[in-house]
Amino acid sequence: MQTVTAKPFIKWAGGKQALADQILAAMPKEFETYFEPFLGGGSVLLALRAESSVANDANKWLVETYEAIRDDWRRVAGLLDSLPNTKADFIRIRAQSHLEKHPWKRAAYFIYLNKTCFRGLFRVNRQNEFNVPYGEYDRRYYDPENLAAVSEAIRTIKFCCGDFELCLDGTTSNDFVYFDPPYYKAGGFSDFNRYTAEKFRDAEHFRLAALCRELDSRGIRWLLSNSNTDFVRTLYRGFMIQELESRRDINLRSRQRNVTELLISNY
Ligand SMILES: C[S@@+](CC[C@H](N)C(=O)[O-])C[C@H]1O[C@@H](n2cnc3c(N)ncnc32)[C@H](O)[C@@H]1O
């Protein structure tokens, strides 16, 4: 019997935990399979708990970490328990992590580095070596009850690793897709250099918008998050565009209303 509601086990830039309820409320009431091509920390996937889901991310280490937690979270937790939170250990683990072959060890290193590095950022160089500096935080790497709950919650999910376009083969008009790409940054540049060695630039935003139009023409419903910018509004002109207030926006409301998030849909 599941008692703990599974929550993200990593800190992830652009994580939607605070907005998950509003995003869920904007979803269709019924669909067959749920697709999430930009999974990240999984806040929406874990909150939704759909019976049939396909989850994808271009970050291979991240996807392998989900799979290792699903397959044997206790082993991942056991190794995490033995990793000291000191700068010297962080540097040693960071240097060896990309050479590790065992999936559960790679998963433990991923979580360890996420929780001990500066602001939980993810950045790798061209050789795929993690290169975020040490963060000097005194916090738990994981909560055993939550890791167990995540493992259970993702047991039947189909994970894919690759570009967002590739995981949508086989979608039908009974399915539903939620897209949460790296945001187009207000101020004119894309939020392109987080998450993976490859960049998410304007060309990727154009490609995603073209894919959304193609899905729309096939009668497949989708919902998409992005920044409240002219660039995004122009890309998705003709679709339903809803402003979504984050907690930060609501706090600012009395002084200066500044909605940063858009939720766009074709239904
Ligand atoms: C805004 S984050 C998703 C956050 C997630 N919804 C959450 O709540 O944590 C965007 C994700 O897209 C992934 N990504 C970047 N480029 C991608 C691509 N071309 N195809 C698929 N995923 C990509 C990143 O690795 C990152 O995890």
Question: What confidence score (pLDDT) does residue 186 get?
Answer: 72
Mean pLDDT of 227-232: 93
Say if residue 75 is exposed, middle or buried (CB neighbours under 10 Å; 0-12, 13-18, 19+): middle
Examine the pLDDT at 168 and tell me if it is beyond 60: yes
Question: What confidence score (pLDDT) does residue 117 get?
Answer: 96
Residue 182 Cβ contacting ligand 1 at under 6 Å: yes
Among protein residues, the one with the nearest Cα to ligand 1's atom 27 is 40
What are the structural domains, with CATH classification, of the chain?
A: 17-55+163-265 (3.40.50.150), 62-153 (1.10.1020.10)
Residue 38 Cβ contacting ligand 1 at under 6 Å: yes
Give distance in angstroms: CA of 14 to centre of ligand 1: 8
Q: How many angstroms separate the CA atoms of 92 and 90, rounded? A: 5
CB 209 within 8 A of CB 235: yes
Residue 61 Cβ contacting ligand 1 at under 6 Å: no
In this prediction the pTM is 0.93
CA distances in angstroms from 125 to 92, 186, 196, 220, 237, listed in the order given: 17, 25, 9, 37, 36
Question: What confidence score (pLDDT) does residue 2 get?
Answer: 47
Give distance in angstroms: CA of 58 to centre of ligand 1: 7
Question: What confidence score (pLDDT) does residue 209 get?
Answer: 98
Mean residue pLDDT of the chain comes to: 91
Examine the pLDDT at 3 and tell me if it is beyond 80: no
Residue range 179-192, pLDDT digits in tens: 999 999 876 555 55
Question: What confidence score (pLDDT) does residue 219 get?
Answer: 98
Mean pLDDT of 215-242: 96
Residue range 102-140, pLDDT digits in tens: 999 999 999 999 999 999 989 888 888 899 999 989 889
Out of 120-124, 208-212, 233-237, pick the least confident: 120-124
Give distance in angstroms: CA of 258 to centre of ligand 1: 24
Give distance in angstroms: CA of 55 to centre of ligand 1: 11
CA 233 centroid distance within chain: 22
Looking at residue 14, the DSSP 8-state letter turns out to be T
Position of tokens 């994970």? 159
262 φ, ψ to 5°?
Answer: -120, 145
Looking at residue 188, the DSSP 8-state letter turns out to be S
CB 97 within 8 A of CB 130: yes
Examine the pLDDT at 259 and tell me if it is beyond 80: no
**Residue of 11, 57, 183, 191 to test ligand 1 pocket, by largest number of atoms within 8 Å of CB:** 57
Q: How many angstroms separate the CA atoms of 228 and 209, rounded? A: 15
Beta bridge partners of 56: 160
